[in-house]
Structure 1
Amino acid sequence: MAPLSRSRLPQAILLVSMLLVSAGQSILFATLPPAGRAIGLSDWQIGLIITLSSVAFIAASPVWGRLSDSRGRRGMIVLGLTGYALFTALFAWVLDLGMAGTLTPLASLVALVAVRVGFGTTVAAAMPAAQAHIVDITPPERRTAGLARLSAAYGLGTVAGPLFAAAFAGLGLVFPLYAAAGAAALAAVAVLGGLRHAPHRSAAAAMLKPNDPRLRLWLGIALGYFLVVAMVLQSLGFVVQDRLHLAPSETGRSVGFCLLASGLTAVAVQFLLSRLRVERPGRLLLAGLPAGIAGLCALCVSSTLPLFILGMVGIGGAMGLCMPGLSAAASLAMEDHEQGAAAGLIGAAQAGGFMLGPLVGASLYQLGGSLPFLSGIVILAALFALCLHRLRDGSAQHGQPVIAKQAVVGEET
C-alpha cells in the first residue's frame, strides 16, 4: 500500500495527539481516587463515575467509527480532541469545587457523572479514526508495526501523565488535569491544520455487527482483557493508599510511579514490535496474557511501593503485547471500507470492560483487598485458554489477512 503522504509530519501529529489523550487518562486514574475521597464520595461512587462514562463511550464509538469510514478521519479526530479538552477542564473544575466544599458530595457526584458522560461521548470519536488512519497508510504485512507505533504513543502518554502529575503535585491535586485539557486543545488545532481533509467518500459506511464471525473472538478478548485492566487501575489507588497508609497527595504520587513503570514497560515492548514483522499478531496475546497474570500475582502480595511497581511492570508488559496484537488481528480480518467500523466496535468492547471494571473492582475491593487482582487472574487465564484453543488452526480470521487490501491512493485521511 502506498503511503498517503511523503511527509511524516501528519503521522507525528496524530501520534502526539494520542499520546496527550493517554496522558490525561493516566493522570485521571492517579488523581480521582484520592480527590473523590477528599470530596466525601464512597469508593463505589468513584467507580460509578468512570462506569457511566464508559456507557457513553460504548454507545458512541461504533457510530464515530462508521462516520470516519464515510466522512474521513480528520474531522472525527478533531471532534474527539476538542471534547476531551472541554470536558477534562470541566471535570477538574468540579473536583476543585467539591474539595473546597462549594459543592456537596451529592452535587459533586451528579456533576462529575454528567461531565464524564459528555467526555465519553465525544472522545470516542478520536481513537477509532486514528487507528483507521494508521491502517489506511500501512500494508497488511506492516499492520502490526504501524499499530504498535500508535500503541507506543498511547503508552508514552501513560508514562508522561504520571510524571507530570508527580512533578506538579505541589500545585494542586487536579492541576495536571487542567494542563491536559490545554494540551488536548492545542492538539486539536494541530490536527486540523496538519492533516489534509480527505475527499468525501461515496461508499456507505459499513454496518458491522458484534456477532460478525471475523470479529467475535477479538471483541470477546477486548471486553475481558480491558475489564481486568480497568479493575486494576481503579483499585490501585485504593490499595496503595490503604496498604501503605498514605495521605491523598502522597497516594497520587505513588500511583503515578506505578503507572510510570507500567507505561515504560509497555512502550519498550511496543517499540520492539514496531521494528518487527509480525505475520500472526493474534499470537502476541499468548505472550501478553501470562505477563498480565504474573503482574496480578505480584499485586496480590505487594506491601511496599517497589513490589507494587514490579507488579505494574507485568501489567505494562501485557499491555504492550496485547493492545497491538488485538488491534492488528482484528484489522487484518476486515476489508478496507470496514476499518473504521471495526475499530469502533473494538473500542466499544474495550470501553465495555472499562464500564464494568471500575464498579466491579471497587466493589470487590470492599469485600477483600486482593479480590480485584485474584479475579483478574482468573479472567486472564480463561482468555489465554480461549486464545490457545482458537489460534491452533492458524486460520486467517484468527490473525492473518484473508485477502489483500486495496490501497487507497491519493488522499490523506
Structure 2
Amino acid sequence: MRACTEPLTENVVPKANWPLALSAGLLGIGQNGLLVMLPQLVTLTGLSLSVWAGLLMFGSMLFLPASPWWGRQSERHGCKAVMLASLSGYLVSFCVMALVVWTMSNGVLNAVWGMAGLVLSRTLYGLTVSGLVPAAQTWAIQRAGLDKRMAALATISSGLSCGRLLGPPLAALMLSVNPVAPLWLMAMAPFIALLLVLREVADPPLPPVAHQATRLQASMLPYLLLALLLAALVSLMQLGLSPHLYPLLEGNAVQVSHHVALLLSLAALATLAAQFLVVRPQHFSPRVLLCMAAVLMAAGLGLMCIADVALFYVGIVITSLGAAMATPGYQLLLNDRLTTGKGAGVIATSHTLGYGVSALLVPVVTRFYGEQLLMNTAWGMALLFLAISLWVRSADRTP
C-alpha cells in the first residue's frame, strides 16, 4: 500500500498531467451535458422536470460525504486506484441511466422501476465520481512538486473548464443523432479515460511535510468558508443572469436567452484564460492571488449590478477571472496545513455545500426581494469573500 500524501519535494521529475486533466474534464461534460438533455429526458421518461432536477441534485449532494472519504483513500491506496474507481463508477452510472431511459421510452419499464433505476444510477455517480477531481488534483500536485503546485492545479482546473465548455455542444450534437445518444457518449468517454489512466505509472510514495496536519482543525475553517462562498456566489450569478437582463432588454425572452448563452461562453473562456495566463505561470503567491481574485470578483459583480448590457459583459469577464484565480489560492493555503488528499476532499465538499446554499437562497431571495436581487446577493457574498481574504492575508503566517 502506498500513500499519495505529498509532492512537496524539490526532486520530483515532472510528468505529463494532461491525462489527469482530461479525466477531470469528464465531470464538466457530464454535469452540463445533462442540463442540455433535461427537456429530452422529461419527454422520454414521462417524469417531470422537478423530478429530474431532484435526481441531479441527489447525485451532487452525495459528494458531501464521499469527497472527504475519497481524499483519505487517495493517501492510503494511491491516486491511481481512486481515479480508476471513480472512472469505473462514472461509466457504470451512465450506462445504467442510458439503459433505464431507453427502456422507459420504449415502454419496457414503468415509472416506479424506472425511478428506482435512475436513483441507483445517481447513487453510483455521487458515491464514486466524487473522488475524481480530488484524486486528479492530488496526483497532479504529487507529480509536480513544491515549485509547480499552482501550475498542477491550473492544469486540472483547465480540464474541468474545458469539459464544462464542451459539454453542451457535444450533447446538442449527439441529440441530433438519437435522443439517448448523449448518455451513451457520457458512458463511452470514461472508458477512454480509463485506458489512459491505466497506462500511467503509479508514482512512488513521497515523504509527508512535517508541518501538515492529518486532520481538519478549526484554524483551517476560513479556507473552507472561502470555498463555500465562491461556489455559492458563482451559482447565484449564473442563476441571476436572466432575471437581471429581462428589464434591460425590455422582457424579450429570445434576446435574453441569446445573451445568457454568450455570457456563459465568455465566462468559460475568461476562466480558461486566467488558468493559463495567470495561475499556471505562477506569477503570484497564493495569498496575493487570493486577494487579487477577491477584488476582481467584488468589482465585477458590482459592475454587473449597476451597469447596462455592454458593461454587463465586462463585469462577467472580470468576475470569471477572479473566480478562476481564487480556487488555487485558498486550496494551496489549505494544503500548507492539511495533507493534500484530505485538503482536496474537504474543498470539494465545501464547493458542494456552496451550491446547496445557493439553491436554498434562490427561493428566499426571490420570494421576499424579487429575482433581480439574486445578482445583488452574489455581490454581497463577493464582498464577504473579500473581507475574509483580507483577514486571512493579515492573520496568516507560513507555518
Normalised to the residue count of structure 2, the TM-score between the two structures is 0.78
Structure 2 CA distance for partners of 1:166 and 1:36, relative to 1, 3 Å? closer
Any residues of structure 2 matched to 1:56-67 within 5 Å, and which?
A: 56-67=62-73
Among residues 252, 273, 293, which one is paired with 2:278 in the alignment?
A: 273
Any residues of structure 2 matched to 1:9-24 within 5 Å, and which?
A: 11-24=17-30
SS in structure 1 of the partner of residue 224 of structure 2: helix
**1:265–1:317: 8 Å Cα contact kept in structure 2?**
yes
**2:270–2:321: 8 Å Cα contact kept in structure 1?**
yes
User: Partner of 2:140 in structure 1?
Assistant: 134
Matches of 2:173 and 2:87, distance apart in 1: 24
| Aligned partner letter, 1:330 | L
Give the length in aligned residue pairs: 382
Deviations 1:17-43 (A, max 9, x none): 1123222223234444x4577656366
Among residues 227, 231, 245, which one is paired with 2:253 in the alignment?
A: 245
**Deviation for aligned residue 1:355:** 3.1
**Deviation for aligned residue 1:268:** 0.5
**Deviation for aligned residue 1:200:** 7.9
Q: Greater CA deviation, 339-348 or 222-231? A: 222-231
- Stretches of structure 2 that go unaligned for 5 or more consecutive residues are 1-8
**Deviation for aligned residue 1:202:** 11
| Alignment pair present for 1:87 and 2:89 | no
Among residues 385, 388, 398, which one is paired with 1:386 in the alignment?
A: 388
| Alignment pair present for 1:348 and 2:352 | no
| Aligned partner letter, 1:339 | T
Q: Greater CA deviation, 139-148 or 265-274? A: 139-148
| Aligned partner letter, 1:272 | L
User: Partner of 1:176 in structure 2?
Assistant: 182
Matches of 2:64 and 2:288, distance apart in 1: 26
**Root mean square deviation, CA, Å:** 4.0
User: Partner of 1:196 in structure 2?
Assistant: 201
Among residues 289, 312, 316, which one is paired with 1:284 in the alignment?
A: 289
Deviations 1:65-84 (A, max 9, x none): 11110111101011112222
Deviations 1:191-243 (A, max 9, x none): 122x213568999xx98444342x21111111121122334456668988996
Percent sequence identity over matched residues?
24
Matches of 2:234 and 2:180, distance apart in 1: 23
**1:142–1:278: 8 Å Cα contact kept in structure 2?**
no
Q: Greater CA deviation, 22-31 or 307-316? A: 307-316
**2:152–2:280: 8 Å Cα contact kept in structure 1?**
no
Q: Greater CA deviation, 309-318 or 79-88? A: 309-318
Among residues 225, 240, 250, which one is paired with 2:230 in the alignment?
A: 225
User: Partner of 1:145 in structure 2?
Assistant: 151
**1:65–1:340: 8 Å Cα contact kept in structure 2?**
yes
Structure 2 CA distance for partners of 1:123 and 1:223, relative to 1, 3 Å? same
SS in structure 2 of the partner of residue 392 of structure 1: helix
Structure 2 CA distance for partners of 1:285 and 1:175, relative to 1, 3 Å? farther
Any residues of structure 2 matched to 1:32-51 within 5 Å, and which?
A: 32=38, 34=39, 41=48, 47-51=53-57
**Deviation for aligned residue 1:165:** 3.7
Q: Greater CA deviation, 349-358 or 172-181? A: 172-181
**Deviation for aligned residue 1:162:** 3.1
Normalised to the residue count of structure 1, the TM-score between the two structures is 0.76
Structure 2 CA distance for partners of 1:134 and 1:111, relative to 1, 3 Å? same
Any residues of structure 2 matched to 1:94-173 within 5 Å, and which?
A: 112-168=118-174, 170-171=176-177
User: Partner of 1:405 in structure 2?
Assistant: none
- Stretches of structure 1 that go unaligned for 5 or more consecutive residues are 397-401, 403-413
**1:18–1:153: 8 Å Cα contact kept in structure 2?**
yes
Matches of 2:98 and 2:374, distance apart in 1: 27
Structure 2 CA distance for partners of 1:326 and 1:175, relative to 1, 3 Å? farther
SS in structure 1 of the partner of residue 176 of structure 2: helix
Matches of 2:14 and 2:147, distance apart in 1: 20
Relative contact order, higher structure (CA 8 A, sep 6+): 1
Structure 2 CA distance for partners of 1:381 and 1:7, relative to 1, 3 Å? closer
Matches of 2:244 and 2:175, distance apart in 1: 20
Matches of 1:94 and 1:235, distance apart in 2: 34
